[in-house]
Structure 1
Amino acid sequence: MSSSGVRQDLSLLRDRPFTLLLVARTLSMLGVAFGPVAIAFGVLGLPGSTATTLSAVLTAEALPMVGFMLVGGVVADRLPRHRVIAVSETANALAYAGLAAAMLTGHTPLPLLIALCAVSGTASALLYPALTGIIPDVVPPERLQTANALLGLGQNSARVAGTVLSGAAVALLGAGWALAASGATFAVSAVLATLLGRSLRGRARGGGGSSMLADLRAGWHEFFSRQWLWVVVAQFSIVVLALQAAHGVLGPLLARDELGGAPAWSAVLAAQAFGMVVGVLLAMRVRPRRPIFVGVLLTFSAAAPSLLLGVGAPLWSAVAGAFLTGVCFDVFGVLWATTMQREVPPESLSRVASYDALGSLMLGPVGLMIAGPVAELAGVRPSLIGCAVLMVLVTFAALLAPGVRGLRAPDPRVPAPSPGTPAPPA
């Protein structure tokens, strides 16, 4: 990577709207990184708690995240996206403050925990489509990949810090204080999103007079007319099912019973997050001619941590596997986001992103619901191996689609077409 190329990429940091978005997303991700460890070990530490109890709490967050995702896409294409982000982050802050208060006071009835997690899940459903759609509002088309990579750098750095610090916070201070820290970061992110709206000066999109159903139909047409898009989303619906089971329930269970508790599991999560930081260096500059094909190949790495933990490999090997997964997933994520932002019309981007998220996440609650009972019946390690095998098989299946193999990025020497213009045949 040349020094001039690095300077050109980093010059985007002088753009005030992008910098506000970057800081807001970095702080929000810091809060998100605290969440899984704090919730998992907070719930598992409650009197009488079982793996099924943890599955119930996590499912309560995942179900509304899936159920309201399409609504979030329509809302983000109709309203100024910075406002949607600010409201969603505020709701997340309140939900996590409630969880923190419950843990710190010892008043932790299961219905209360479920209700607060449901609020957080609903907020996330509104947040994700707006986050995807707002990036083309903030940066010009030729800087999309750089913007996605820099946003990934901030988020992944926060993920590393959050997962490392959350394990220490849970071990030393308890889950309640870790959850309180999460709520504070969401609150600051909400303030920055509000300031972002003032800085866009007319660049924010919003509006639309058609019905919600008409908007959803139009968004579905944009989504389903692109084979590469719906095939990879279908692949990820299974990958996320397995990852939710492995990372949400099975990994924490194995860590609690055999690996020494929260710090060991935090090491696995932190390694993956650190790998995503390193992956930014590749994602910022790599320009494959077939971005979706390369991205899907990289997702084979998702199986590595689950397989290594399942076969009883040393913890350090699972940490190394998680690092590899992080590198590969960051490159995939930047290629995926940039391709979608380039190929889908801006006025439909949040709705298409909501179909993307809905399809990718819709089976996640199933993974969370069945992980605890399956682990109790079959054992934690065999369940982890099953998750790894499932991820490998579905990734092979995605590579069979011509659209996945054939979609080509535009030649950088040729002026880019407007977003949504069909690419020439491969």
Structure 2
Amino acid sequence: MRSDRTTTRRFAWAGRDYRIQTAATVVSGLGNAGAPIATAFAVLEGGGTVAEVGWVSAARLVPLVAFLLVGGALADRIPRHRVMAAANLFNALSQGVLAVLVLAGPAPLWALLLLSAAGGVGQAFYAPAAEGMIMEAVDPEHAGKAFSVYRMALNGSQIGGAALGGALTAAAGPGWVLALDAVGFAVAAGLRLLLRAAPGDRGPSGAGMLSELRSGWREFASRRWLWGVVLQFSVVMACISAVDSVYGAVAAEQRMGGARDWGLALSGFGIGMLAGGVLMTRWRPSRILLAGNHGVFLFALPALGLALHAPLPVLAGAMFVSGAGVTVFGVNWMLALQQEIPAAMFSRICAYDHLGSLALAPVGTALAGPAADALGLDGALWTCALVTLTLAAAVLVLPDVRRLRRAAVAPAAVGEPVPVG
């Protein structure tokens, strides 16, 4: 009984909306972690090529990039939980249709492209709203711990989801994994409808959407550390997308045990993100952007492991360390955003962040096949790793990245009318 009371006091900062949002993220994350594995192997089992795997991945990313700004502006105008619930329902529908097509037989490439694109549209509206919502659910003094615990819950679901997705794809086929993803999105939408709008939450403003986007851009462009890191990530994410969405599945099919082994490797990545979350609940670096950028160097390890033909345990270890680096970066980056960005335009800044970071990801996945043809699979993997390491070093040229310090308490809580290092 004493243990229960101690646990309750330890998480007293985690209010109702924070718990609901975290639970919904875990539910949708279980299915979403396995969906990329299932989609890649749906293409390969239907006789698709490496290039076609890249095209299907790029088809999701193109509308994601195209609609992010609209999603961010919308989430700064109306209650964020409604935007998130609607996006989840849309994703449930698109993934459900995709599952039916894959279960019925080899899905035609055009259908895979179209439904993958639909999933990207839903994510474009969900992502900017989600980042604002989770941070407005806790007090600024608990922001680091809250986002670390949130990432631990999300990453825990990805561990199970990747392992389950790989095993279920190998045992029953990719269609059932996609069906579970659709169910997870539907359940998450229902949970998010239970969330409450924050006091003083946004409503339609007198300014038009284009005017609001322009003000968000001015806020974004005025901070060198912000656009510098986003510019770095625009190229890094193109490399990561090629490795995770294309090269990993192809290497697993050619050199390892197929979907099952790639799912286990991705589980190592998820466990690493979970370990990074534990670290970040205790580590409070003063120079948050510098600490976060240390994690970016670790992003190159999966590509290095695949290029070196590492056995599965070694590859899983590389994925583990890389996953820890992702969480170290993500928590410090979100702290920097919450500390420095006004709440009234938080979702718009997140949208510009996502837009810049993902702008080249469709190019990376679409060109993954031609790059592998030109350089060989190993040559393409080495290129991705070296580019990532070079850019992680290059961003340190910016003084603000090296010097931006954690405030004792963030100046204002995200979600008040006026506020990932």
TM-score by length of 2: 0.94
Tell me if the contact between 1:100 and 1:180 (Cα under 8 Å) persists in the aligned partners.
yes
What's 1:19 paired with?
Answer: 19
What's 1:406 paired with?
Answer: 403
- Give the C-alpha shift of residue 416 in structure 1: 4.4
- Separation (CA, whole Å) in 2 of partners of 1:155 and 1:376: 35
What's 1:62 paired with?
Answer: 61
What's 2:374 paired with?
Answer: 377
> What is the one-letter code of the residue matched to 2:347?
S
Structure 2: state its 5+ residue gaps: 415-421
The equivalences for 1:213-362 within 5 A come to 213-362=210-359
Does the alignment pair 1:174 with 2:173? yes
- Separation (CA, whole Å) in 1 of partners of 2:92 and 2:311: 37
What's 1:136 paired with?
Answer: 135
Tell me if the contact between 1:138 and 1:203 (Cα under 8 Å) persists in the aligned partners.
no
Does the alignment pair 1:81 with 2:75? no
> Aligned residues, how many?
411
- CA deviations on 1:106-143 (whole Å, 9 max, x unpaired) are 16122211111111100100111001111233222112
Identify which range, 53-62 or 4-13, moves more after superposition. Answer: 4-13
SS of the residue 2:282 aligns to: coil
SS of the residue 1:399 aligns to: helix
Q: What percent identity do the matched residue pairs reach? A: 39
Tell me if the contact between 2:69 and 2:348 (Cα under 8 Å) persists in the aligned partners.
yes
- Separation (CA, whole Å) in 2 of partners of 1:347 and 1:117: 32
> What is the one-letter code of the residue matched to 2:127?
Y
Tell me if the contact between 1:148 and 1:334 (Cα under 8 Å) persists in the aligned partners.
yes
What's 2:116 paired with?
Answer: 117
- Separation (CA, whole Å) in 1 of partners of 2:318 and 2:6: 30
Identify which range, 172-181 or 303-312, moves more after superposition. Answer: 303-312
User: Residues 84 and 207 (structure 1 numbering): CA distance in 2 closer, same or farther, change over 3 Å?
Assistant: same
SS of the residue 1:408 aligns to: coil
- Give the C-alpha shift of residue 222 in structure 1: 1.3
User: Residues 9 and 207 (structure 1 numbering): CA distance in 2 closer, same or farther, change over 3 Å?
Assistant: farther
User: Residues 230 and 296 (structure 1 numbering): CA distance in 2 closer, same or farther, change over 3 Å?
Assistant: same
Identify which range, 96-105 or 377-386, moves more after superposition. Answer: 377-386
- Give the C-alpha shift of residue 9 in structure 1: 4.5
What's 1:423 paired with?
Answer: none
> What is the one-letter code of the residue matched to 1:301?
L
Does the alignment pair 1:32 with 2:26? no
What's 2:48 paired with?
Answer: 49
User: Residues 224 and 97 (structure 1 numbering): CA distance in 2 closer, same or farther, change over 3 Å?
Assistant: same
Identify which range, 177-186 or 339-348, moves more after superposition. Answer: 339-348
Tell me if the contact between 1:63 and 1:365 (Cα under 8 Å) persists in the aligned partners.
yes
- Separation (CA, whole Å) in 2 of partners of 1:9 and 1:177: 39
- Separation (CA, whole Å) in 1 of partners of 2:79 and 2:261: 42
SS of the residue 1:26 aligns to: helix
- Give the C-alpha shift of residue 40 in structure 1: 0.7
Runs of 4+ in 1 over 6 A off after TM superposition: 3-7
SS of the residue 1:324 aligns to: helix
**Aligned with residue 417 of structure 1, among 405, 411, 414:** 411
- CA deviations on 1:167-219 (whole Å, 9 max, x unpaired) are 1100111100000000000000000110113xx46464333221111111111
- Separation (CA, whole Å) in 1 of partners of 2:20 and 2:295: 31
- Separation (CA, whole Å) in 2 of partners of 1:224 and 1:9: 39
- Separation (CA, whole Å) in 1 of partners of 2:336 and 2:66: 26
> What is the one-letter code of the residue matched to 2:39?
I
- Separation (CA, whole Å) in 2 of partners of 1:173 and 1:264: 15
- Separation (CA, whole Å) in 1 of partners of 2:203 and 2:28: 23
- Separation (CA, whole Å) in 2 of partners of 1:86 and 1:118: 19
Tell me if the contact between 1:28 and 1:189 (Cα under 8 Å) persists in the aligned partners.
yes
- Separation (CA, whole Å) in 1 of partners of 2:136 and 2:294: 30
TM-score by length of 1: 0.93
Tell me if the contact between 1:152 and 1:277 (Cα under 8 Å) persists in the aligned partners.
yes
SS of the residue 1:108 aligns to: coil
Tell me if the contact between 1:12 and 1:18 (Cα under 8 Å) persists in the aligned partners.
no
User: Residues 323 and 201 (structure 1 numbering): CA distance in 2 closer, same or farther, change over 3 Å?
Assistant: closer
- Separation (CA, whole Å) in 1 of partners of 2:400 and 2:203: 31
SS of the residue 2:135 aligns to: helix
**Aligned with residue 361 of structure 2, among 341, 361, 364:** 364
Tell me if the contact between 1:56 and 1:114 (Cα under 8 Å) persists in the aligned partners.
yes
Aligned Cα root-mean-square deviation (Å): 1.8
